[in-house]
Structure 1
Amino acid sequence: MVFDLRDEPWIPVRLAGASARVGLRTLFQRAHEIADLELPVPPAASGLLRILAALTARIARDGEVPLDDVKRADDIDGWFALRAKVLTRRKFDPEAVDDYFDQEELAERFDLFGAERPFLQDPRLCTECVDAPRGTQSVRCEQAGAWTSHRCQRGCVVRALHRRGSSAHPGR
């Protein structure tokens, strides 16, 4: 199973006065039309905004100079000038969005169910619960220090990360 976060509609947004779901590519291509993210749970909204901020730095550019250009790291005034140029456009360059998301080396990295590198998940969870019965299980992920709910079937897909550092079982 493949769920490509670049193009599958999964991000709830307010678009043209209505609720909609969009993938990452559409979110960046139509960001200037999106009124808001529709994530009612603050930690989920915060987490998504952090991901979007990192992706913004990769996608936003002035011509061929990206906002995350390492040559700008030592020149903070130059970086702010570049940022100001990018912000004056008030929208992302659709070609820059496609150029970023179409990079061959990123193809599997945005797959939620990727065997090697599932998006923002630790693939070792699959090997840590091989004896677990089929169905949704709760497993203590020592790395994350949180309970994760994942499916112990054909790939152990991580479903959600709850209560960082809490020892309480989610839902109880």
Structure 2
Amino acid sequence: MITATPSTSASFTITAEDYANALRLHMRRYWVTKSGPKLFIAAMFALCLIAMIASGFDPTPTTVAIVVMVGTAIWPLLAYFLLIPWQARKIYREDKTLQHPIEASWTRDAYFASTATVTNTIPWSDYFGWSADEKMVLLMQSPVLFQMLPRHALSGEQAEDLIGHLEKSGLRRI
């Protein structure tokens, strides 16, 4: 059991916008690190080009192929800018635990977080990895499960301290 006194702490309440930012960061991380989405888009484009060539560029199959190619290219943007924020707001409304105030702190050994209903301590070595951007820090417990810490809840010094602990912990940045 880790008994170190937390060196830095923050109090915050996750908002629907914070949750949307966390989901966006998670999506970007997924699209950058995984080959599946890129292969799917490449395969769709290749199939559409093959269909266009095989049809001798007949107007109907060519039009359908172009629509499919445009739709395939636009889908990630629609998901990022429209579907993720909509889904985040819906989940936020339904999941009351996301709306509880959080007391978070960290040491060189672990991350501590507590709400009115839950308290946890997770050693850095138990995390899968971490990711961060200008709005959010994600502490990944697995490829799909994460804890979020909004940057607006941290001072510049606190953000530097947290990122420093993450980098020194040996966790991989995803």
TM-score (normalizing by structure 2): 0.27
TM-score (normalizing by structure 1): 0.27
Question: Larger Cα Rg: Structure 1 or Structure 2?
Answer: 2
Say which structure, 1 or 2, has more relative contact order (CA 8 Å, 6+ apart).
Answer: 2
Specify which structure has the higher proportion of helix: 2
